[in-house]
Amino acid sequence: MKYILLAYTNADDWQAAAAQMATTGELPPEVLKACEFYEGLHKELTETGEFVTTEGLSEPVHARTVRKGDGGPVVTDGPFAESKEVLVSFAILDCASYDRALQIAARVVDATGDAVEVRPIGEGPGPMEQ
């Protein structure tokens, strides 16, 4: 079954890393360490056949939200909800079980300290197959 892992980080930390990159051309050491972890995990999950895809997202300042308005769709700047944590990346995995997807997410949390939301893909409303 496929699962999406949504990785979140602290908005202030992300802004600080982006500012450092803009001024020095270098990422903070903790970001580089996280990148190394993700590269190793990607290789491992590719070898096990569980990796489908992953992408990092641009900063929330570049996000736009489209909502229904009285005169039609309305576009506003920023993500849907104001939050101290922002969505930074996603990965889609094809795992044998929900528990396996949660094990992988736990490894990400251990390595980065950031939150990871795990959701099954494609089941729609109603009971989910395990």
pLDDT at 73 over 80: yes
pLDDT at 68: 94
Residue-range domain boundaries for the chain: 2-120
For the chain, give the mean pLDDT: 91
Instruction: List Cα–Cα distances, 86 to 18, 63, 117, 128, in angstroms.
Output: 14, 11, 12, 27
pLDDT at 15: 87
Count CA atoms within 13 Å of residue 115 on its CB side: 9
E strands, 27-96, are 51-56, 64-69, 72-77, 85-94
Tell me the pLDDT band of 80, cut-offs 50, 70 and 90. low
Tell me which residue has tokens 């489209």: 66
Q: pTM for this structure?
A: 0.85
Model confidence over 83-123: pLDDT tens digits?
Answer: 788 999 999 999 999 999 999 999 999 999 999 999 999 86
Q: Is the dihedral of CA 99, 42, 37, 89 positive or negative?
A: negative
In CATH, which superfamily holds the domain spanning 2-120? Dimeric alpha+beta barrel (3.30.70.1060)
Pair 49, 94: CB distance under 8 Å: yes
